[in-house]
Chain A
């Protein structure tokens, strides 16, 4: 099953390696990972998306809690949460097809952040599934480059 795990950590060097090590030691590939500061300067939040056996993920969560620099671990897979991701998509568009791209972008509320003779770059934020759908629709226009931030997640009150 896919798990979205939030790990609140001390904002110190080496912490990311410790956290990542618990997954890599089991041969688990992290689907996505986002790290940044929180409302407290000395605390960072990591949002990790990983697929794995539930029992083993449970064990990983316990071991994450055991790390000295980890303050809190929560699994957002089984709790209502707001999940967002940002993507940048650069498509190689013939001038004739540009208006189609504009229309799709408008429907998805994607912003055009760069435009050149041969390409359009779009920025899109939203739930990861929305971004998946948008990317599918962009494929016929020849995607030259695609980057996603990885999801961030916050539990709903």
Chain B
């Protein structure tokens, strides 16, 4: 049977089992939207294309499925760019359809033309410009395969408007033939046995687990690995939730704003077992002094992540889930009673703390109360900056895919649209966006989407009237010159929420915090914005300054 390109897109999405599509129409995609009108997908009309791509991203992170976006050519496509880069840095599977001007117009500076395959080349896992309707089905099949396998990532399909309208026979390929793309899933047995030997002999081992454990759904294998070996575990920002942070063996997050004990443990370790993590500069600080005595086992599906920043003794290229399962079969527990004792002492002596106040609302207190009142069962999305770090530090994550944050790119404005996607993926859970007053203004237009679809997201704005993280750096490293970080001109967030049809609550006193969260949790048919007026100059501690070592850690007590 003959079909148009637009019909082929719909049929292909059905074959891929897509349920939800995010996007925004425009001239070059009218044929696609014409078919979308009665297609069996839930379509979420963003109010800015950036909102659509972040929502698809949040959906993908919360569900483990591929997020799908459709946007038009030119500005529609360029508005996706930040979202594509965000997903690329954090290895999130997305398939994005962009409209393109008609094939014969490409390169002529046509109306709403942008070379989006050129623009997204370094920030996507792969991209295609569809030159004939005959290759469309194959390209879509390949895109879903590429996006979701190996190290996942976003794939862009640029569809000229004449390709959407042209007709061909629809034949969805069953198999993908890509001779040049064959991700390795199974770890090398010899490397695995070498790793097991190192583990058994270790005196001071630490597991350093990252986002790869979440994306390969290896949380179960990771937990078993810890149980079998008794080795303490720290996670990256992206890896939180893979192992319960409430467990005694959890050292919580490491890195710039990680716990002192996690950073100390890694520094003092004689064996670092990196699983699905990439030794990011926010984790290592000054790389030459990161792990002076440790040998390194590195499990990662991406060969280009191995030995990139640190020397690795036992590289294992493979899927975290499969490799950990193999290791679990062989490994014997090392004798590390003394090490554990030392770390437990360190943990007890250096807890994450803040100086609470009765007069002011501390942002950390708000996060703690969200944790308590949701019994730790909420899905937490964050913006970027202080709000993100407090959300990471003062909420204890126990399940994978419950902490959703832009780690690699650090995209302000990510959290709220991502929360929309997360709420769609997890209707059974309450979803919070822990936001700052700066970040929330970057994609606040998406409020109407949450109202339209009756999504009961709670947006907890930790409102300090500053771009807090930059202000903190200015305070500590730039002589307190708060250049352009004071945001005292801000909208009335309560009225703003109400203007959109959302609920709005302002909290100015500490004893109102619980009631506000409870009131928001009682609202189930629309989003709620809570404007928490928090202590204006609270800082995130501990802090290892950029490029420094743990000896340079700044704690509250030192100031």
Q: Which of B149-196 contact A (CB under 8 A)?
A: 178-181
Inter-chain CA distance A69–B304, complex, in Å, is 16
Q: Which residues of A contact B129 (CB under 8 A)?
A: 13-14
Q: Which of B146, B302, B303, B304 is within 8 Å of A68, CB to CB? A: B146
Contact with A along B122-162 (1 / 0, CB 8 A): 10011001000000000000000010000000000000000
Closest residue of chain B to A71 (Cβ to Cβ) is B180
Contact of B121 with A21 in the complex, beta carbons under 8 Å? yes
Closest residue of chain A to B178 (Cβ to Cβ) is A68
Q: Which residues of A contact B125 (CB under 8 A)?
A: 68
Q: Is A25 an interface residue (CB 8 A)?
A: yes
Q: Which of A10, A17, A62, A66 is within 8 Å of B121, CB to CB? A: A17
Q: Which residues of B contact A67 (CB under 8 A)?
A: 180
Q: Which residues of A contact B180 (CB under 8 A)?
A: 9-10, 67-71
Q: Is B201 an interface residue (CB 8 A)?
A: no
Q: Which residues of B contact A71 (CB under 8 A)?
A: 179-180
Q: Is B117 an interface residue (CB 8 A)?
A: yes
Q: Is A18 an interface residue (CB 8 A)?
A: yes
Q: Which residues of A contact B308 (CB under 8 A)?
A: 59, 62
Inter-chain CA distance A13–B131, complex, in Å, is 10
Q: Which of A15-71 contact B (CB under 8 A)?
A: 17-18, 21, 25, 59, 62-63, 65-71
Inter-chain CA distance A33–B64, complex, in Å, is 41
Contact of A62 with B179 in the complex, beta carbons under 8 Å? no
Closest residue of chain B to A60 (Cβ to Cβ) is B304
Contact of B304 with A63 in the complex, beta carbons under 8 Å? yes
Shortest Cβ gap from A46 to chain B (Å): 14
Closest residue of chain A to B131 (Cβ to Cβ) is A13
Inter-chain CA distance A59–B308, complex, in Å, is 7
Q: Is B351 an interface residue (CB 8 A)?
A: no
Q: Which residues of B contact A13 (CB under 8 A)?
A: 129
Contact of A65 with B121 in the complex, beta carbons under 8 Å? no
Contact of A25 with B304 in the complex, beta carbons under 8 Å? no
Closest residue of chain A to B309 (Cβ to Cβ) is A59
Shortest Cβ gap from B487 to chain A (Å): 34
Closest residue of chain A to B183 (Cβ to Cβ) is A66
Interface size on A, residues (CB 8 A): 18
Q: Which of B121, B179, B181 is within 8 Å of A18, CB to CB? A: B121
Q: Is B427 an interface residue (CB 8 A)?
A: no
Q: Which residues of A contact B304 (CB under 8 A)?
A: 59, 62-63, 65-66
- Name B's interface SS: mixed
Q: Which of B118, B122, B303 is within 8 Å of A65, CB to CB? A: B303
- Name A's interface SS: mixed
Inter-chain CA distance A120–B285, complex, in Å, is 61
Q: Which residues of B contact A69 (CB under 8 A)?
A: 180
Interface residues of B toward A: which range?
10 to 19
Shortest Cβ gap from A70 to chain B (Å): 6
Inter-chain CA distance A25–B118, complex, in Å, is 14
Q: Which residues of A contact B117 (CB under 8 A)?
A: 14
Q: Which residues of B contact A59 (CB under 8 A)?
A: 304, 308
Q: Which residues of B contact A14 (CB under 8 A)?
A: 117, 121, 129
Known contacts: A14-B129, A62-B304, A63-B304. The answer to whether A68 contacts B181 by CB under 8 A is yes
Inter-chain CA distance A69–B155, complex, in Å, is 14
Q: Which residues of A contact B121 (CB under 8 A)?
A: 14, 17-18, 21
Contact of B303 with A62 in the complex, beta carbons under 8 Å? yes
Closest residue of chain A to B127 (Cβ to Cβ) is A14
Shortest Cβ gap from B11 to chain A (Å): 24
Shortest Cβ gap from B314 to chain A (Å): 18
Contact with A along B490-505 (1 / 0, CB 8 A): 0000000000000000
Contact of A21 with B302 in the complex, beta carbons under 8 Å? no
Known contacts: A17-B118, A17-B121, A59-B308. The answer to whether A66 contacts B179 by CB under 8 A is no
Closest residue of chain A to B305 (Cβ to Cβ) is A62
Inter-chain CA distance A18–B156, complex, in Å, is 14
Q: Which residues of A contact B179 (CB under 8 A)?
A: 71
Shortest Cβ gap from A127 to chain B (Å): 31
Contact of A68 with B122 in the complex, beta carbons under 8 Å? no
Inter-chain CA distance A52–B293, complex, in Å, is 30
Shortest Cβ gap from B527 to chain A (Å): 39
Q: Which of A105-146 contact B (CB under 8 A)?
A: none
Shortest Cβ gap from B56 to chain A (Å): 21
Contact with A along B446-472 (1 / 0, CB 8 A): 000000000000000000000000000
Inter-chain CA distance A69–B127, complex, in Å, is 11
Closest residue of chain B to A70 (Cβ to Cβ) is B180
Q: Which residues of A contact B303 (CB under 8 A)?
A: 62, 65-66
> Considering residues B125, B304, B308, which has the most beta carbons from chain A within 10 angstroms of its beta carbon?
B304
Closest residue of chain A to B302 (Cβ to Cβ) is A66
> Considering residues B122, B129, B178, B180, which has the most beta carbons from chain A within 10 angstroms of its beta carbon?
B180
Q: Which residues of A contact B126 (CB under 8 A)?
A: 68
Contact of A21 with B178 in the complex, beta carbons under 8 Å? no
Contact with B along A60-99 (1 / 0, CB 8 A): 0011011111110000000000000000000000000000
Inter-chain CA distance A66–B304, complex, in Å, is 8
**Which residues does B use to contact A, with CB under 8 Å?**
117-118, 121-122, 125-126, 129, 146, 178-181, 302-304, 308
22 contacts between A and B (CB under 8 A): A9-B180, A10-B180, A13-B129, A14-B121, A14-B129, A17-B121, A18-B121, A21-B121, A21-B122, A25-B122, A59-B304, A59-B308, A62-B303, A62-B304, A63-B304, A65-B303, A66-B303, A66-B304, A68-B126, A68-B146, A70-B180, A71-B179
Given contacts A17-B118, A59-B308, A68-B181, 15 further A-B contacts (CB under 8 A): A10-B180, A13-B129, A17-B121, A21-B121, A62-B304, A62-B308, A63-B304, A65-B304, A66-B302, A66-B304, A67-B180, A68-B125, A68-B178, A68-B180, A69-B180
